[in-house]
Structure 1
């Protein structure tokens, strides 16, 4: 299977399985994609709707149909000449619950578990209550309260002959070293005999085998006589009465886990999480053994030809992304003759590019989504919209200030444990040398916090413990900002930390007996995980070179760097994507994953420049919608229109706020903050304008109510993510219900002649321009250098909001029924049904199939536009061999449209022309979107009144459809 020319992302879950996807294969093939791009297929937590909470890397999810169904599906896909790209999650696993065997084993055996080094657990916590233990912060209330309420119960699994503690869905195995005590507590001769093999048991591997034999005897006993004798044991540890409850408490205190209230996680968690999600634990995939165990299934599926490539989730969560990509490619190359296809989920900051030394095809396309989104915006709207937002919110700061404030809050309230892990790793380095040992923990903590807070990108990628010049380009931004913000007394510590975080080679420790690893015992200390896999293996094996003082210093520095990078990445995501983007509301179409709202608009020159850079990765994905987007691609395209009518929109906001003032809660209360508040109200209006379906009538009570339900779900999530008056940790349910009541009040049927009519009327004005933006965005995604990616269902309108709204079931029957060979231009008059969008996707996928190289990797040539309306045209050519394609599109058209159709009247173009490259001036060009044929005039220019007379976009090619 060759590399993809176009992908289609499918979200698999128990409601949409491999067999369900197979039932739609005819449609997918007819649409024209070459590869289906599947959400994770490994076994996840039961009922998972996304698959990112893997609990078993070794099996295909039974809820999706199992490996047999996957292989049947893949066989049919390959029969069609198509392929499969599988999403894969090497960074974290789902924990808690009762289904992750690796995690349960470390709860049972602690740091001597066979899987102790599979997870990023700090077995040497400075907290004595956590030393050698795993924090399990899954209790709904204080530990003592839950224990007294009887919600923490000792139980027995007859099939596994295993004692365990259960709290709701969470299971924690009891270590077999306590089985003798448990069995003897019933004071029965038969159980006393069964206790024998467990007497004197330790957690060492040899004793684990002895415990297995004891379990076999216990299982045989239970099979023979039943569980009644065991019930006596359980009763003696029942928490219903004080004495057995105290006995249960003492038993729990001896385990390798500590049950805790879920709120303790932010301050005390001693293992790496995915962001701040306690149900997802970081995996040490940088270790050779863990890497092989994690990838065993996907390697087999790849070797067998079941899957044809991989999408790597959250690459920045790994200790060393570059090394991971190198090792992954090396392994894949040995399994198949064809070069492997690998893309990575990577958020790139403004001006940042994917590292050239990563052996991958490119990113999953957030960079393109940001570039094309900014290109749809009018830069003239930035200032008046900012002024309007400042007047509404009372805050005239740029987005960067919101993001910085959110970073400070995240470090203090959501990621303090992660910051502590970084600080302790750095402080251990300080203690190694006489010259730095008096550097205090507090001073290092202040420095690390400031560096992380001001870090301009997700993370850096040092090699062998040292930052490169490219790393320093970004690190120095944080360094200088920290230097300005820290007190003078901390600047010496800042210089030290700069060096320890890769600014200079490490000095050998004076005494390697107290190495930088901080490891005093067996099991899985954190330190070796940050080094490359070879160093990990040598350090673990006691290699003499690995035990030199310099090696210890190098490992300690690599550890600190990895921990710092594994802090800055989630900090950037949590502060920006999950907080600041819900607080700042100048224009929500620029509040998207991978975007910077301060980077408001892009010029044609800017977009040409990024497309030329994109040619360096011609197999990188081009996305405009994903399973993680904040707003659907067509919501953003419509909201971008507001940048063209900024003053009109500002006046509309004020009018609507006045119109709906009577529906606010607490508005008249003295000194009380009213609900939803000015900023939240303004963002709500933007959301309603953006997602209002084109065909929805204000008098359609059922339709408006269905929309209100969807927006209500978004509103609750938006308020909690903003973390201003409510949040996920301590929700203010009164405020939330008042905000939702406000929404339902303003959309109530009795408002049909008031706000509802005003809202629907405004949407009717901007929707045609938004549809034009959609068509331009669609064409750019399908003709720019790279591989276009379609998110499920977005061939028709995508007016979705943030998940779970963007993961709703797709009506494939409606899409299949609308798919035909008619030109998109023939469907433009009925644009509200979105068939013109579907036809545009279909036609351009057909062009890519006919000449894949032309649009994927062909030469990219910006074209010169001249005339009265030149600023409203974007044009470029693609060239490969003797084949040409010329792409011309209408942009910033709010002032050009006369009716309710997304098309500029030919006369409005006046003398505007596009100059063609010399190589295609003598050609006859076929427009794949209108089926018109154009003969290039002698001068080599095309008049826009001729080219854009049937569609607001044109894709002209020397290739014809026949």
Structure 2
């Protein structure tokens, strides 16, 4: 069942099913069509996000368990709201082995376990390797406690009849081998989620595994408790197409969207029976509208002058090689071993080069053949010395596109692209971080308005029920931070001058992080030292330039940790930063309101991430999982529903007004939200007006507000309106096509016919 919109909540032990149920009245008043929840199945004890599922057969007890889940579903039904649940088919958590009953059984019984085939383990290579020790010598620190092997807080089961003797002797008898954690990347013999050894991949391509892992959720769908499913990370699956076909068969009436990251120009495979993606493509398209292409040259020169590489392709290539040559070595070796008739080292090189060269996350052979062919051609050109090995790889994959070799290289290419691009390049190539977003292309500086309208029309024609988004739990920064940062493209020289002064006074001795830090400080201001410190620590480690999560440069990390207090404690510098923020805050608010109205009214099903109905200046997780003040939002909404038209100010109530009006109209008048036609303004400021019509609905938004103000405002720019009277739903007033009057109070307008 397609919802009119969704409202995403992050469930955790501190915000349970019952807590979510307490907000149903607010969500109904806001206009939301469905509650969209983070994973609700049992997860690692204490998990704050739920993506580390340990038992897919029950609702998570720490969220209230089955009874609380049923009560939430019942109350949502009573309120007329749908219930969309996030599911995680690719992997299960094994960090706390005993919390995962299937994994515990595999450790105890090895290949003979009834659940051995559930996990993607290569038993051909011997015992299951568990990289949990400080180093290999720590086997001397193992202890036996009853029928368990103990290493500090880690516990592992003993195979029946193996508990006699010293701990080392007991360990030697098990189906698993505990090894030093540093050996994991190179020697691991089970597939994992990216490079996270505590998340073991699950073989949901097998029907019995699919039904075991999805039976409970599909029961909820069949009983009407769950109306939609969001599928996490389909690219990691052996055969995403077959998977979604099984899922659709099990949930024929559910709204079904997949977290598929589409590169520009890439489409979902037509054979997938889904309603669309989770909206990162829409995020990219909308964000680009508010970026001024004229800012590219000055900001590029700023980055270059500060010592940061400005060739995006080179930075990305280096980052991807870091992944294939270091982080995912065991995966590359496992794939290379499947290439017949090629010397092992050449096979490894061919596999790595091909995955590095992928123009998208992965192909879905035989669909997506063009992407595979492009990767092969690029790999062959990059390494002529490996041409024969690349050709052999290409032939064998095409020969059996559903075989193990083809499957593994496709599902692993997405890991290389994601880790190399999203989780490394986006923290290294920081020329203009507003573009460094999941699904984004930092080398595409600003969007062509004609292209935006074409893509919106195409979404309405092909994927009208796809999700659209501006903020998710995975975005690198919230929509409002991004909207303010977009203003920097309109004042690039002013920002460049400021950054040079600030860097000379309090710079970080790593160019990429330094530039990212100043952009983040401006974008998220005001921000506490604690929040900024946490963000910069993560950014420094993700970039892998001076320090990493596993190989620490302690002195550099201390320098980075001290930076927020030094900057915010420097009264003169802090005042200058605050003054600059004052210069871009207003235009940032204009961008925020405009991009939000576009997202909420353009083709697709819009999602509102928790709390973002007011200004939300959150950064990457875990910062974006902070508690939401729903009492404040409910109080402001009550005033808005009473007729209050708030000013555009620090309260963010103006954004709440726009969200409320748009969501309510979508829910109550769905017939208005069909079709798509571009509208064109006329006059001196046409470049700053974005307008389109749906079925009896017109949307008007302002873009590049700094340039608009500098040119004298709207002046006599008009938007010719179809015949009849038109009323702005946001302000409740009748309007004509004169933009200076229509957009006098707010930079956006949502028009319906006066008699509707």
Could you say which TM-score interval applies, normalised by the shorter chain? over 0.9
**TM superposition shift of 1:827:** 4.1
Q: 1:443, 1:349 → 2: CA distance?
A: 30
Question: Is 1:47 the equivalent of 2:46?
Answer: yes
Correspondence 1:364-375 to 2 at 5 A: 364-375=278-289
| Cα shift at 1:887 | 0.9
CA–CA separation in structure 2 for the residues paired with 1:167 and 1:7: 44
Taking the aligned partners of 1:627 and 1:119, their CA distance within structure 2 comes to 27
Q: What corresponds to 1:625 in structure 2?
A: 471
Where in structure 2 are the equivalents of 1:99-178 lying within 5 Å? 99-125=99-125, 131=126, 133-139=127-133, 141-144=134-137, 146-148=138-140, 150=141, 152-156=142-146, 163-178=147-162
Offset at residue 896 of structure 1 (A): 3.1
Secondary structure at the aligned position of 2:155 is classed as strand
Q: Which residue of 1 aligns with 2:723?
A: 922
Structure 1 partner of 2:485: 639
CA contact (8 A) 2:647 2:653 kept: no
2:732 — aligned with what?
Answer: 931
User: Structure 1 CA distance, aligned partners of 2:642 and 2:283?
Assistant: 23
Q: Is the 8 A contact 2:320 2:356 kept in 1?
A: yes
Q: Does 1:950 align with 2:745?
A: yes
Question: C-alpha separation between the residues in 2 aligned to 1:947 and 1:824?
Answer: 22
| 1:451 maps onto 2:284 in alignment | no
* Structure 2 residue 612 is matched with structure 1 residue 815: no
Deviation per residue, 1:395-428 (Å, 9 max, x gap):
231x2221111000111110000111111122xx
Q: Which secondary structure does the structure 2 equivalent of 1:281 belong to? A: strand
2:344 to 441, 460, 469: 441
- Relative to structure 1, is the Cα distance of residues 735 and 571 closer, same or farther in structure 2, using a 3 angstrom cutoff? same
Tell me the secondary structure at the aligned position of residue 694 of structure 2: strand
Question: What does residue 370 of structure 2 align with?
Answer: 473
Question: Is 1:610 aligned to residue 455 of structure 2?
Answer: yes
Match of 2:604 among 786, 797, 801: 786
My pick for the range that moved more, 926-935 or 592-601, is 926-935
1:112-141: CA deviations, max 9, x gaps? 11011000000001xxxxx1x1111112x1
Q: After superposition, where does 1:28-427 map in structure 2 within 5 Å?
A: 28-97=27-96, 98-125=98-125, 131=126, 133-139=127-133, 141-144=134-137, 146-148=138-140, 150=141, 152-156=142-146, 163-178=147-162, 182=164, 237=165, 247-333=166-252, 339-397=253-311, 399-426=312-339
Pairing partner for 1:763 from 581, 589, 602: 581
1:894 maps onto 2:695 in alignment: no
Matched, 1:659 2:520: no
Does 21-30 or 776-785 show the bigger shift? Answer: 21-30
Q: Deviation per CA, 1:903-943: give whole Å up to 9, x if none.
A: x9xx7312212233xxxx222111011111135xxxxxx22
Is 1:501 the counterpart of 2:501? The answer is no
State the distance in 2 between where 1:682 and 1:634 align.
Answer: 19
Cα deviation 1:313-361 (Å, max 9, x = unaligned): 111111000101111111223xxxxx22111111111111112211011
Residue 178 of structure 1: SS of its match in structure 2? coil
- 1:12: which partner in 2? 11
- Of the three residues 649, 658, 669, the one matched with 1:851 is 669
Q: Distance in 1 between matches of 2:692 and 2:644?
A: 24
Structure 1 gap segments, 5+ residues each: 126-130, 157-162, 183-236, 238-246, 334-338, 431-436, 507-553, 662-674, 694-705, 899-903, 936-941
- Cα deviation per residue 1:117-174 (whole Å; 9 max; x = unaligned)? 000000001xxxxx1x1111112x1132x233x3x21111xxxxxx111223322211
Deviation of 1:832 (Å): 1.6
Largest Rg, 1 or 2: 1
Cα separation, partners in 2 of 1:569 and 1:959, compared to 1, 3 Å: farther
Q: Deviations over 1:625-667 (max 9, x none)?
A: 0011111110000000011111111111112122336xxxxxx
Query: Residue 484 of structure 1: which of 376, 381, 387 is its match?
Result: 381
Q: Which residue is 1:523 aligned to?
A: none
Write the distance in 2 (CA, Å) between the matches of 1:945 and 1:384.
31
Provide the rounded CA distance (Å) in 2 between the counterparts of 1:824 and 1:349.
44
Displacement of 1:588 in angstroms is: 0.8
Distance across 2 between alignment mates of 1:475 and 1:404: 17
- Are the equivalent residues in 2 in contact too, given 1:823–1:929 (CA < 8 A)? no
For the 8 Å contact 1:362–1:621, the answer to whether it is kept is yes
Report the TM-score when normalising by structure 2.
0.97
SS in 2 for 1:832: coil
Assess if the C-alpha contact under 8 Å between 1:820 and 1:839 holds in 2: no
Deviation for aligned residue 1:950: 2.0
How far is the alpha carbon of 1:603 from its aligned partner? 1.8
* C-alpha contact 1:924 1:933 (8 A) present in aligned 2: yes
What's the offset of the Cα at 1:712? Answer: 0.4
